[in-house]
Chains A and B, each alone.
Chain A
């Protein structure tokens, strides 16, 4: 077996991942604060006014990163669910469990900022448009996942059932992504794409990317704290948890 492989398997056990997560938290938190400071400064002060939407377009700097995060986090949860179902590692289900509330939060934020953007630009807080509706379904999937997990007492069964729900719900992710292409939606097409690059000015693009990276660092920090709580709860009867310094004291 290769050395790198052993290394990764080592951190697949909750006992060795717990301290590693603890070391990641301060770094991710500091990076998140710095990136948010730069990103907010750029989005509120540096980025010029939009010629069509005036100052109102500044919502883009949180709306797009929040919408990206809502989908990325779901994809990461699906990834952990697949690993969990395939190789039956305990940590992968715990990771998915720890990611869900933050994913739901970003989905809500994307919908909220979308409404606050839609009102001045489209004249309505909400329309049953394909993009908006599929994003709302994503929020229901997050809530459904959390509720399903919570309703099953046996953790291993909860892992499996909620993992399958995640896999089934994954069909919604391409629907969200392509909704602006497949249907005539009120929602605009994407301004940033892998094929065509960006149709925005570079200062706006950089501001948005920095905000997106800030959201990533934030998510890592918060999820690492939460996964440590999940680990403690689920491994509370093990010897290594009982011997932890923070519990002995």
Chain B
């Protein structure tokens, strides 16, 4: 099987790659999003902690 044949998928290229492509997109995007969410929450909590420290000292 050649590379061109593989990507052609027996004429079903749009449908097969449209499906696998969407899965790849979603399963890469979601982990990035949850990590960004975690990062921003940690940043906010750190800022709050610093403010509290500044107030109490």
* Interface of A toward B, CB cutoff 8 Å: 36, 40, 44, 49, 54-56, 58-59, 62-63, 66, 101-102, 105, 108-109, 112-113, 116-117, 119-120, 218, 221-222, 225-226, 228-229, 232-233, 236, 241-242, 246-249
- Check B30 against A109 for contact (C-beta < 8 Å): no
Contacting residues, chain B, for A236 (C-beta < 8 A): 45, 48
- Check A232 against B41 for contact (C-beta < 8 Å): yes
Contacting residues, chain B, for A44 (C-beta < 8 A): 6, 20
Beyond A58-B9, A109-B26, whether A229 also contacts B18 by CB under 8 A is no
Contacting residues, chain B, for A58 (C-beta < 8 A): 9, 12, 16, 20
Contacting residues, chain A, for B15 (C-beta < 8 A): 56, 59, 116-117, 119-120
Would you give the shortest CB distance from B11 to chain A, in whole angstroms? 7
- Check A233 against B41 for contact (C-beta < 8 Å): yes
- Check A218 against B27 for contact (C-beta < 8 Å): yes
Report, as a range, how many residues of chain B touch the other chain. Answer: 20 to 34
What are 30 residue pairs bridging A and B, where the CB atoms are less than 8 Å apart in the complex?
A44-B20, A49-B10, A54-B11, A55-B10, A55-B16, A56-B9, A56-B16, A62-B20, A63-B19, A102-B30, A108-B26, A109-B23, A113-B19, A113-B22, A116-B14, A116-B15, A116-B16, A116-B18, A116-B19, A116-B22, A117-B15, A119-B15, A120-B12, A120-B15, A222-B31, A225-B38, A226-B37, A229-B34, A229-B41, A236-B45
| A241 to B48 Cα, complex, angstroms | 12
Contacting residues, chain A, for B27 (C-beta < 8 A): 36, 218
- Check A247 against B45 for contact (C-beta < 8 Å): yes
Task: Give me 17 other A-B pairs in contact (C-beta within 8 A), A56-B10, A218-B27 excluded.
Answer: A56-B9, A56-B11, A56-B15, A59-B15, A59-B16, A62-B19, A62-B23, A108-B26, A113-B19, A113-B23, A116-B15, A116-B16, A116-B19, A117-B15, A117-B19, A221-B31, A247-B49
Would you give the shortest CB distance from A58 to chain B, in whole angstroms? 5
Contacting residues, chain A, for B14 (C-beta < 8 A): 116
Would you give the shortest CB distance from A113 to chain B, in whole angstroms? 4
Beyond A54-B10, A55-B12, A218-B27, whether A246 also contacts B19 by CB under 8 A is no
Residue of B nearest to A114 (CB): B19
Contacting residues, chain A, for B22 (C-beta < 8 A): 109, 112-113, 116
Within 8 A of A (CB), among B1-44: 6, 9-12, 14-16, 18-20, 22-23, 26-27, 30-31, 34-35, 37-38, 41-42
